[in-house]
């Protein structure tokens, strides 16, 4: 309650947005260990599913013998791909319109692929029985190097696809090739660099899993599932299983981090559902850490050639890139249909250019399928990394300060809305103040002086800058859908007679604090204190349809829906108030939580009075029904375009080549800020992600296709020891089309921080003539860069 707030956490009931540090409504549950995650779900008679996975990357399946597993006393069912074929469930659609096998029937195409599953009385018996399944594989050559995948001699991975003769998935281009070529041909300076964004993994604390409960009598399926998009998942299950949506209930309870990795539907979910259908009992499937790292959606894996053209005095004229995209064995990219490379088209960054062009080729390899939008809006992380790295390469060649070069090229405030050369319309931005604020917080000039002194002493200190613009809030229905589902979001608001309210969302929090911030948005619009507004999400039976939470879309889309549904209720409340106060609607003014008669402020009714009248005795104005509730489906006009300026300071130990992030300053602009404390938390998380990707994380494979990052001993993620005390700041440039001016922020820091860190490391290595080095900048890679060893191919 309000009284329990510690000092500094004021009561902001009448100014719910953007002020103070309102505590999170969900935290009492989490800090007392009362969160309710999928693995906490226990149903009477529940069985357990475990999945047998391929030990090899590419092989034909000769035979599968399940007899010993079936004889295990605790085993209730053993299911193979052949059995699923009979049910028409051996293959399922991916979010990008490819097909992926649920259980391999013909071949295995990556190490860790699902081959069979066991349903048993307990988790241990299920795992033990996997050992009893005998699979004979006929090994095939694996295709591991994406650069070899299109070689005519490369084995064809997807021979399941009719007539497929190669490993090509798609070509995609954006921008104007000829115009860009003309600018490059006449530019004073052209700089090119090969830049790799390695394969990484979202690695959420909670792995993927579900509990499937199929009621054979009523043909009803209830699925507790680690899903970032319960409604979209329900529709896909309905299509695949041929069940009507109202017979399927998807419940996403508390989710222990998603970061894009819980957007796809994985074979394990389908296996658990089939297991429940076959046994008639509820079936739980929870992956272990290694299964999560090796088989669920990876991210990135782009090999990019970046080129930038400029004048000698640092006016950037054009950028161009050629990308080879490794999608693994099945194209499991999560992106709107029209955007096979997600929002990579925003690779022109925050700069006013004359021309831009991108060409991309996507290919299959014998690796786990993906790539998910790991804490980013569909490939924006790759785009931001490319432009912010190549701009630094240009600064290196021009011997210019990287801040000065960026400032000279920023899109100017009067150019917004700004149409980029690849067709995106940035809604609003004012970049220079954000950059200046970061410089001021960092003490940039002083840092450069210190660096000069240290360099003179042979010490390796680096200062890295990045400036990003993101495109978040997918998206306008005319442009964006996923498998035919438009990206609009529903929202319902019901005010009870006593003036308490419940708002029902289609989005799904995975730790972002929606139960708090959506209550704040509604409170701001309707004057009911946030504590009196209950936020319901994550259950398709309880909430309206919408596409879920990823790509920082919750605030831009559902946040707008929440504000507008509250306004709709307020409009009705105004009419009821006019009846109660016996004045015309035009004579009323709204002052936080009450309608007052203009010129007679003593005469007023609160929203709570109105709620009681709406449900109570007495007449309502002509044509007004009882009750106080509304529903909308919000279709965003445009994406929102948050921006930010990040400055990183690193020290490198010249003896061990170990990088230490000494300081990190992040100034974010996400338009109107709803909950500053939550924003800060989101930014801290994203910056930590950035340290991981820049310095530690990579899902690597050996030449046979064995995944080398299958545990957290090999796939290193940052801890408190590797990160500094984050220094954050903000500016506010509202979105002109969002009802409260808010832009997304959940992923900004994951997107913006890797280039700042890499730029800092490369800056530290300047005395060695290093212009670029690829992530992750582990000690061995930094050591090699210092000694001029060529980068890994």
Q: Rounded to the nearest whole angstrom, what is the least distance from the CB of residue 343 to ligand CDP in the complex? A: 15
List CB contacts of 279: < 8 A, sequence separation 6 or more. 47, 76, 77, 119
In this complex, which beta carbon is closest to ligand CDP, that of residue 270 or of residue 521? 521
Q: Which residues bind ligand CDP (CB under 6 A)?
A: 512-514, 517, 549, 552-555, 670-675, 678-679, 682, 742-746
Output the residue with the shortest Cβ distance to ligand CDP: 746
Q: Given the complex with ligand CDP, which of 268 and 671 has the nearer CB atom?
A: 671
Task: Give the closest residue to 771 by CA, choosing from 420, 495, 393, 375.
Answer: 393
Going from the C-alpha of 392 to that of each of 397, 455, 465, 648, 770, the distances in angstroms are 9, 19, 9, 14, 12
Q: Which is nearer to ligand CDP, 119 or 740 (CB)?
A: 740
Q: Tell the residue number behind the tokens 């609607």, with chain if given.
A: 585
Q: Which is nearer to ligand CDP, 670 or 764 (CB)?
A: 670
Please say which residue, 105 or 228, places its beta carbon nearer to ligand CDP: 228
**Minimum distance, C-beta of residue 650 to ligand CDP, in the bound complex (Å):** 28
For ligand CDP, the closer CB: 529 or 734: 734
Is residue 721 exposed (0-12), middle (13-18) or buried (19+ Cβ within 10 Å)?
exposed
What is the SS3 assignment for 27-38? HHHHHCCCCCEH
State the minimum distance, in angstroms, from the CB of residue 149 to ligand CDP.
Answer: 33
Q: Cα angle vertex 496, ends 494, 498, to 5°?
A: 150
Rounded to the nearest angstrom, the gap between the alpha carbon of residue 754 and the centroid of all alpha carbons in its chain is 16
Q: Which is nearer to ligand CDP, 345 or 671 (CB)?
A: 671
- Nearest distance, CB of residue 678 and ligand CDP, angstroms: 5
Is the CB of 72 or the CB of 685 nearer to ligand CDP? 685
Radius of gyration of the chain from its Cα atoms, rounded to whole angstroms: 27
Q: Are strands 283-286 and 209-215 parallel, antiparallel or unpaired?
A: antiparallel
What is the C-alpha separation between 174 and 7, in angstroms, rounded? Answer: 52
Least distance in Å: CB of 672 to ligand CDP? 6
Closest contact distance (angstroms) between CB of 684 and ligand CDP is 12
Categorise residue 148: left if φ over 0, alpha if ψ from -120 to 50, beta otherwise.
Answer: alpha
Place of tokens 């998603």: 258
SS3 212: strand
Nearest to ligand CDP of 469, 549 (CB atom): 549
- Angle, vertex CA 413, rays to CA 409 and CA 419, nearest 5: 75
Q: State the nearest-atom distance from the C-beta of 671 to ligand CDP, in Å.
A: 5
Nearer CB in complex with ligand CDP: 628/745: 745
Report in angstroms the alpha-carbon separations of 175 from 235, 344, 390: 34, 12, 18
Nearer to ligand CDP, 174 or 552 (CB): 552
Give min distance, CB of 646 to ligand CDP, in A. Answer: 17
Least distance (Å) between residue 346 CB and ligand CDP? 16
To the nearest whole angstrom, how small is the minimum distance from the Cβ of residue 561 to ligand CDP?
Answer: 12
First-to-last C-alpha distance (Å) of the chain? 58
Distance CA 647, CA 642 (A): 17
- Residue 288 CB contacts under 8 Å (≥ 6 apart), including other chains: 207
Shortest Å, Cβ 549 to ligand CDP: 4
543 close to 506: Cβ distance less than 8 angstroms: yes
């Amino acid at each position: 309650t309000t009284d329990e707030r510690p000092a500094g956490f004021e009561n902001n009931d009448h100014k719910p947005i953007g002020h103070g540090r309102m505590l999170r409504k969900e935290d009492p549950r989490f800090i007392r260990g009362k969160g309710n995650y999928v693995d906490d779900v226990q149903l009477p008679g529940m069985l357990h599913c475990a999945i047998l996975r391929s030990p090899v990357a590419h092989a034909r399946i000769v035979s599968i013998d399940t007899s010993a597993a079936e004889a295990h006393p605790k085993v209730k069912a053993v299911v193979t791909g052949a059995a699923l074929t009979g049910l028409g469930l051996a293959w399922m659609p991916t979010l990008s319109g490819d097909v992926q096998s649920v259980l391999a029937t013909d071949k295995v195409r990556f190490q860790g692929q699902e081959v069979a599953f066991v349903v048993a009385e307990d988790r241990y018996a299920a795992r033990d029985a996997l050992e009893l399944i005998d699979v004979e594989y006929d090994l095939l050559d694996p295709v591991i190097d994406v650069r070899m995948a299109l070689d005519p001699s490369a084995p064809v991975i997807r021979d399941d696809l009719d007539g497929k003769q190669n490993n090509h998935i798609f070509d995609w281009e954006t921008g104007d090739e000829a115009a860009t070529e003309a600018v490059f041909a006449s530019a004073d300076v052209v700089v090119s660099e090969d830049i790799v964004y390695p394969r990484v993994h979202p690695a959420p604390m909670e792995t993927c899993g579900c509990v499937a409960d199929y009621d054979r009598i009523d043909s009803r399926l209830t699925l507790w599932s680690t899903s970032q998009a319960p409604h979209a998942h329900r529709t896909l299950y309905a299509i695949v299983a041929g069940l009507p949506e109202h017979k399927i209930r998807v419940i996403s309870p508390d989710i222990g981090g998603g970061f894009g990795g819980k957007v796809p539907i994985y074979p394990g979910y389908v296996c658990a559902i089939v297991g429940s259908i076959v046994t008639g009992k509820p079936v739980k499937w929870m992956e272990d850490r290694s299964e999560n790292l090796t088989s669920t959606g990876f991210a990135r894996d782009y090999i990019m050639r970046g080129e930038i053209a400029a004048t000698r005095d640092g006016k950037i004229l054009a950028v161009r890139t050629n990308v080879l995209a490794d999608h693994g064995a099945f194209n499991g990219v999560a992106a709107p249909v029209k955007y096979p490379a997600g929002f990579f088209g925003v690779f022109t960054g925050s700069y006013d250019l004359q021309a831009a062009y991108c060409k991309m080729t996507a290919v299959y390899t014998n690796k786990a399928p993906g790539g998910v939008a790991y804490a980013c809006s569909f490939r924006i992380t790759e785009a931001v990394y490319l432009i912010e790295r190549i701009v630094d390469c240009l600064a290196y060649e021009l011997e210019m300060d990287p801040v000065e070069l960026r400032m000279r090229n920023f899109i100017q405030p009067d150019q917004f809305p700004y149409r980029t050369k690849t067709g995106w319309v940035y809604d609003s931005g004012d970049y220079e103040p954000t950059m200046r604020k970061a410089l001021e917080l960092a003490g940039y000039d002083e840092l450069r002086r210190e660096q000069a002194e240290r360099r003179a002493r042979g010490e390796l200190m680096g200062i890295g800058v990045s400036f990003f613009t993101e495109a978040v809030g997918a998206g306008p229905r005319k442009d964006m859908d996923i498998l035919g589902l438009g990206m609009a979001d529903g929202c319902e608001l019901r005010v009870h007679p006593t003036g308490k309210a419940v708002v029902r969302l289609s989005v799904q929090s995975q730790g972002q604090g929606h139960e708090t911030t959506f209550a704040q948005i509604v409170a701001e619009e309707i004057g009911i204190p946030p504590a009196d507004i209950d936020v319901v999400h994550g259950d398709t039976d309880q909430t309206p349809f919408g596409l879920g939470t990823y790509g920082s879309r919750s605030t831009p889309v559902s946040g707008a829906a929440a504000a507008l549904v509250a306004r709709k209720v307020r409009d009705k409340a105004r009419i009821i108030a006019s009846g109660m106060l016996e004045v015309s609607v035009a004579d009323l003014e709204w002052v936080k939580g009450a309608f007052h008669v203009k010129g007679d402020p003593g005469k007023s009714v609160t929203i709570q009075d109105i709620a009681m009248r709406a449900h109570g005795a007495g007449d309502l104005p002509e044509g007004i029904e009882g009750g106080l509730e509304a529903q909308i489906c919000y279709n965003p006009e445009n994406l929102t375009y948050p921006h930010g300026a990040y400055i990183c300071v690193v020290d490198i130990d010249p003896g061990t080549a170990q990088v230490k992030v000494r300081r990190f300053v992040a100034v974010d602009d996400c338009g109107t800020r709803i909950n500053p404390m939550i924003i800060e938390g989101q930014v801290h998380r994203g910056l930590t992600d950035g340290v991981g990707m820049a310095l530690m994380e990579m899902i690597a494979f050996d030449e046979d296709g064995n995944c080398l990052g299958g545990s957290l001993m090999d796939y290193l993620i940052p801890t408190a020891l590797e990160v500094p005390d984050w220094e954050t700041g903000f500016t506010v440039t509202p979105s002109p089309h969002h009802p409260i001016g808010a832009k997304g922020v959940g992923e900004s820091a994951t997107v913006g921080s890797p280039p700042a860190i890499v730029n800092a490391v490369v800056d530290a290595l300047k005395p060695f003539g290093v212009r670029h080095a690829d992530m992750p900048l582990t000690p061995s890679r930094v050591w090699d860069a210092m000694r001029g060893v060529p980068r890994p191919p």
